[in-house]
């Protein structure tokens, strides 16, 4: 189960990186990760949401200087953020992660 969660996070990160690397110049989308709202993230498809959650997990870990991933804790944090976002659509995803991680 743990390996599956790790692989899911890795695939999500690769999908996000691959999307940016292969996008045409005319179709390039630039997201402001500080202002992206819960509503905007939750409106994406499963792959986009998974990539977003993985990315924000990494941002949060980077802010704390953490280089080890507790997979069960990361999964719970993502679930808590999903719940928070469903009730607070206008909140930023970054704020949702910070609040859920307290």
Q: How high is the pLDDT of residue 30?
A: 83
pTM over 0.85? The answer is no
Average pLDDT over all residues of the chain? 82
The dihedral of CA 29, 71, 45, 14: what is its sign?
positive
Residue 1 pLDDT > 90? no
Q: Domains of the chain by range and CATH?
A: 2-100 (1.10.890)
Give 4's pLDDT tier (boundaries 50, 70, 90): low
End-to-end C-alpha distance for the chain, whole angstroms: 26
Q: Burial-class residue 11 by CB neighbours within 10 Å (0-12, 13-18, 19+).
A: middle
Residue-wise pLDDT tens digits, 63-102: 999 898 889 999 999 999 999 999 999 999 999 999 998 8
Of 45, 54, 48, 44, which is closest to residue 81 (Cα–Cα)? Answer: 54
């Amino acid at each position: 189960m743990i390996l599956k969660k790790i692989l899911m996070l890795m695939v999500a990160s690769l999908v996000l990186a691959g999307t940016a690397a292969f996008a045409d110049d005319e179709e390039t989308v630039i997201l402001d990760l500080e202002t992206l709202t819960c509503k905007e993230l939750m409106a994406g498809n499963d792959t986009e949401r998974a990539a977003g959650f993985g990315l924000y997990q990494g941002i949060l870990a980077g802010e704390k200087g953490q280089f080890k991933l507790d997979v069960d804790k990361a999964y719970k944090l993502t679930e808590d953020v999903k719940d928070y976002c469903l009730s607070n659509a206008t909140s930023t995803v970054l704020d949702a992660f910070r609040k859920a991680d307290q």
